[in-house]
Chain A
């Protein structure tokens, strides 16, 4: 008698067909792609396209694409460390050594280095954007969706709707 109770089929709430076949409510994809090195000689810098697609209500824009450089990621990390409650993941290194002269390769403009950095930055931003406690930080929204980062912004939280 005990055994049948243990293995009896459970009565569960029926899932609507809408819910079963709708797009998942957790759709969030962020890619860090298309590294481009601008400028010449000593005035060069590399930036990356940060492309985002989502259906999360907390993000106002459902598809966005902005260009960001390494120092922008550093800015985002320090803002989150200060304001949010999360343990912010580490960024790929600053590669100071690569910026010294007399190298055999292209230093920080070396293809392989840029590719490694790109991958690491992609992991970094995905990890943060999916975190429930960081998702509503204004700095993250500005980083992902504003064409230009306004460093004089007012830090704070974003409410959905």
Chain B
């Protein structure tokens, strides 16, 4: 590249990648690293990728010598703190041209058949997962490269088991509440419907709020990074409740920037979501209870021939509402925050519910699964 600019040649050829069906293909917004959003063509697992590669010579009469032209389809995980090592979890390549010369503008067709796209794209705080097509015109000194990013969404269907989350938590002698959320697994346009029931209120509560927290976990072993981001937060109660009062919760997820729960993606990262219920008293002390929920992306108009990825397994949900659990002493608050504990007494915690087995998509037969608008 230095050689070319030194002589003022600039880029000698331009590469364009045109996808088949571009006019009708849906797009999706994907976040870029600098926080902006870009629109990319949306693909699903099993779909084929086909189109044309157009090479335009910048200067007529100029002859482009090359050592081969190829197109690759790549799925890549990049950890921001380890940029040098991009991990490719999927890699397909097609040779478009043997080494030779181009005398005029040329177009090549390509077709990747029924491509596996096992994960959803994700741009986060410390990690990015992307899919892209890359065309390389190999040359002696500098290759000419063109990349086009693609969006990929993973779809799931309604889980067979979706128990509610119901738990009694509190601080001994000061505060007991029972909270309930109608489900443990929510799709991205779902509504969390729940309630808080006050059993014992010996503190002066000023207000109560609920928040959705995204926790991105990268790394392994001793080098684990957890990045928490509050996606949404709002007040559900203002004032001081007494015993016997119930406070409703309704959180409409469609309004927020959420992704499906991603567990241990290629053993590199996880993205999990938590509901954080916080009560604040008159002296600004905060009492909180965090509960994980599983988010999944719903497809609609699914053809029978297409199978869906299983909804990720969630951590144990407490369907046994009658099991009143004793309250542990609050751990030392570093700041004025206390977690509402719910450790078991005589009976041990229930075993995690086994995951439903919905088979993964094996092959893409016909029809394009689309998502809710």
**Chain A residues within 8 Å of B, Cβ to Cβ:** 2, 5-7, 10, 12-16, 19-20, 22, 24-26, 28, 56-58, 85-87, 126-127, 130-133, 135-136, 160
Taking CB as reference atom, which chain B residue is nearest A133?
Answer: B330
- B333: Cβ under 8 A from any A Cβ: yes
Taking CB as reference atom, which chain B residue is nearest A57?
Answer: B173
Cross-chain contact A25 with B193 (CB below 8 angstroms): no
- B96: Cβ under 8 A from any A Cβ: no
Cross-chain contact A13 with B242 (CB below 8 angstroms): no
7 A-B pairs closest in CB distance: A15-B244, A12-B246, A6-B191, A19-B244, A132-B174, A85-B332, A19-B243
Q: A87-B333, A132-B330 are in contact. Are A26 and B201 (CB under 8 A)?
A: yes
| Cβ–Cβ < 8 Å partners of A13 in chain B | 197, 244, 246
Cross-chain contact B240 with A130 (CB below 8 angstroms): no
- Which among B191, B202, B244, B285 is the interface contact of A26 at CB below 8 angstroms? B202
Q: How far is the CA of A160 from the CA of B195 in the complex (A)?
A: 30
| Cβ–Cβ < 8 Å partners of A57 in chain B | 173, 202
Known contacts A7-B250, A22-B242; 4 further A-B pairs (Cβ under 8 A): A85-B330, A130-B282, A130-B283, A135-B174
- Residue from A58, A126, A130 whose CB has the most chain B CB atoms within 10 Å: A130
| Cβ–Cβ < 8 Å partners of B248 in chain A | 10, 12
Cross-chain contact B244 with A131 (CB below 8 angstroms): no
Cross-chain contact A132 with B246 (CB below 8 angstroms): no
| Cβ–Cβ < 8 Å partners of A56 in chain B | 202
- Which among A25, A126, A133, A160 is the interface contact of B242 at CB below 8 angstroms? A25
Cross-chain contact B245 with A26 (CB below 8 angstroms): no
Cross-chain contact B245 with A6 (CB below 8 angstroms): no
Cross-chain contact B173 with A58 (CB below 8 angstroms): yes
Taking CB as reference atom, which chain B residue is nearest A127?
Answer: B283
Q: A10-B195, A19-B244, A86-B333 are in contact. Are A132 and B175 (CB under 8 A)?
A: yes
| Cβ–Cβ < 8 Å partners of A2 in chain B | 190-191
**Chain B residues within 8 Å of A, Cβ to Cβ:** 171, 173-175, 190-191, 193, 195, 197, 200-205, 240, 242-246, 248, 250, 252, 281-283, 285, 330, 332-336, 338
- Which among B173, B190, B201, B204 is the interface contact of A160 at CB below 8 angstroms? B173
Cross-chain contact B243 with A25 (CB below 8 angstroms): yes
25 contacting pairs across A/B (C-beta < 8 A): A6-B193, A10-B248, A13-B244, A14-B244, A15-B245, A15-B246, A16-B244, A19-B242, A19-B243, A24-B242, A25-B200, A25-B243, A26-B201, A26-B203, A26-B205, A56-B202, A57-B202, A85-B333, A86-B333, A87-B333, A130-B282, A131-B285, A132-B203, A135-B174, A160-B173
Taking CB as reference atom, which chain B residue is nearest A28?
Answer: B204
Taking CB as reference atom, which chain B residue is nearest A8?
Answer: B193
A62 CB to nearest B CB, Å: 14
Q: How far is the CA of A136 from the CA of B330 in the complex (A)?
A: 13
Q: A15-B244, A20-B244 are in contact. Are A10 and B330 (CB under 8 A)?
A: no
Q: A26-B201, A127-B283, A133-B333 are in contact. Are A12 and B250 (CB under 8 A)?
A: no
Q: A20-B242, A127-B283, A130-B283 are in contact. Are A12 and B175 (CB under 8 A)?
A: no
| Cβ–Cβ < 8 Å partners of A87 in chain B | 333-336
| Cβ–Cβ < 8 Å partners of A12 in chain B | 195, 197, 246, 248
| Cβ–Cβ < 8 Å partners of A58 in chain B | 173
Cross-chain contact A25 with B245 (CB below 8 angstroms): no
Q: A19-B243, A20-B242, A24-B242 are in contact. Are A6 and B250 (CB under 8 A)?
A: yes
B65 CB to nearest A CB, Å: 60
Cross-chain contact A10 with B285 (CB below 8 angstroms): no
Q: How far is the CA of A15 from the CA of B338 in the complex (A)?
A: 27
| Cβ–Cβ < 8 Å partners of B242 in chain A | 19-20, 22, 24-25
- Residue from B244, B285, B330 whose CB has the most chain A CB atoms within 10 Å: B244
Cross-chain contact A132 with B333 (CB below 8 angstroms): no
| Cβ–Cβ < 8 Å partners of A5 in chain B | 191, 193
Q: How far is the CA of A15 from the CA of B174 in the complex (A)?
A: 20
| Cβ–Cβ < 8 Å partners of B204 in chain A | 26, 28, 130
| Cβ–Cβ < 8 Å partners of A25 in chain B | 200-202, 242-243
Taking CB as reference atom, which chain B residue is nearest A6?
Answer: B191
| Cβ–Cβ < 8 Å partners of B338 in chain A | 132-133
- Residue from B195, B197, B240, B243 whose CB has the most chain A CB atoms within 10 Å: B243
Q: How far is the CA of A86 from the CA of B175 in the complex (A)?
A: 17
